[in-house]
């Protein structure tokens, strides 16, 4: 029988972007999935979280719930982002331990890396400086989660794993004006510009920063593979190994949306992290995972989903 078949898995954040894809795969693999939504379980409530986990009796907890968004959202909500993520992460990890779970998999983020980390970013450099200030509180909450996991393994023997995905994109992303990241925000704006016959769109920053993108279905596959095969508290980068300047990314999104107008750069707005590019050798060597969907194909699928879902 497969690793997941009949295994009791408690998944937080199942109604979210990555969480929804994880839920699909867990159901297809035969897991007994317990996936309470936010209206059913408030992870900010410690007592409620511990009771829900105790009643669920999970063998494995997969924690994907998060309070986050793009640069604009992070800049406007640094206090609540830090508070909410620290509490949700702490409550979920401690409740998993109290409920007797065998494993805890906490989805982390490359936002935890220092702003000026050497590129390609390696897991060993995680604590070599402060994160990019525009998302510093969020990045620090992820660092704390990973250190908590290391401590719980050392004291209580709880097996933990921490995948660190780079920027995700794909179907079911958040296209809202308040929370969207760069890819969904630009897909929405380019698509609306095409429909309105607009001749230009305004883009934040200089276009000189770089990003590494990972298609969400690739990420979901990686997280589950890591949960099955990686037995260490050491975090693991998840990315596709391709560093793309934001200017080229914007041009690729415009092509995918059929927008041929001008791109106007608003240099008064922040670029965010100067460079994001990961060393993904630990994932390849540790549990045999590599991304399979390239950027052009991933953008094509994402644009198609966005237009069909509106």
Helix 295-309 to helix 246-257 angle, to the nearest 10 degrees?
50
Q: Which of 73, 113, 138, 169 is catalytic?
A: 138
Q: Going along the chain, which residue ranges are E strands?
A: 8-12, 32-34, 60-63, 103-106, 159-161, 163-165, 167-169, 200-204, 210-211, 213-215, 236-238, 244-245, 262-266
| Cis peptide bond upstream of 120, omega within 30 | yes
CB burial of residue 102 (10 Å; 0-12, 13-18, 19+): middle
Coil, strand or helix at 42? coil
Helices vs strands, H then E, count in the chain: 10, 13
CA angle, 66 as apex, 169 and 14 as ends, to 5°? 75
As a whole number of angstroms, the distance between CA 240 and CA 250 comes to 18
Does residue 111 contact residue 142 with C-beta atoms inside 8 Å? yes
138 is catalytic: yes
Q: Catalytic residues, which ones? A: 138
């Amino acid at each position: 029988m497969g690793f997941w078949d009949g295994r009791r898995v408690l998944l937080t954040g199942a109604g979210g972007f990555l969480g929804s894809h994880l839920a699909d795969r867990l159901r297809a693999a035969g897991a007994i999935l317990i996936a309470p939504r936010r209206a059913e379980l408030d992870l900010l409530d410690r007592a409620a979280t511990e009771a829900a986990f105790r009643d669920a009796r999970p063998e494995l907890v997969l924690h994907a719930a998060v309070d986050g968004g793009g640069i604009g959202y992070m800049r406007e909500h640094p206090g609540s982002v830090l508070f909410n993520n620290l509490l949700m992460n702490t409550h979920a990890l401690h409740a998993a331990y109290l409920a007797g779970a065998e494993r805890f998999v906490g989805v982390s983020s490359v936002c935890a890396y220092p702003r000026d980390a050497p590129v390609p970013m390696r897991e060993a450099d995680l604590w070599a400086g402060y994160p990019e200030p525009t998302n510093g509180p969020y990045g620090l909450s992820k660092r704390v989660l990973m250190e908590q996991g290391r401590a719980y393994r050392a004291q209580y023997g709880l097996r933990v794993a921490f995948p660190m995905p780079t920027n995700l994109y794909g179907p079911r992303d958040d296209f809202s004006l308040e929370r969207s990241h760069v890819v969904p925000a630009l897909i929405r704006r380019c698509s609306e510009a095409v429909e309105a016959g607009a001749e230009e769109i305004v883009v934040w920053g200089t276009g000189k920063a770089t990003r590494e993108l990972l298609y969400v279905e690739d990420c979901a596959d990686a997280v589950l593979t890591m949960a099955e095969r990686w037995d260490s508290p050491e975090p693991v980068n998840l990315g596709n190994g391709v560093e793309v300047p934001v200017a080229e990314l914007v041009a690729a999104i415009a092509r995918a949306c059929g927008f041929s107008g001008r791109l106007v750069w608003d240099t008064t707005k922040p670029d965010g992290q100067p460079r994001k590019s990961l060393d993904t050798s630990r994932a390849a060597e540790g549990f045999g995972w590599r991304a399979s969907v390239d950027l052009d194909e991933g953008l094509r699928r994402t644009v198609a989903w966005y237009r069909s879902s509106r």
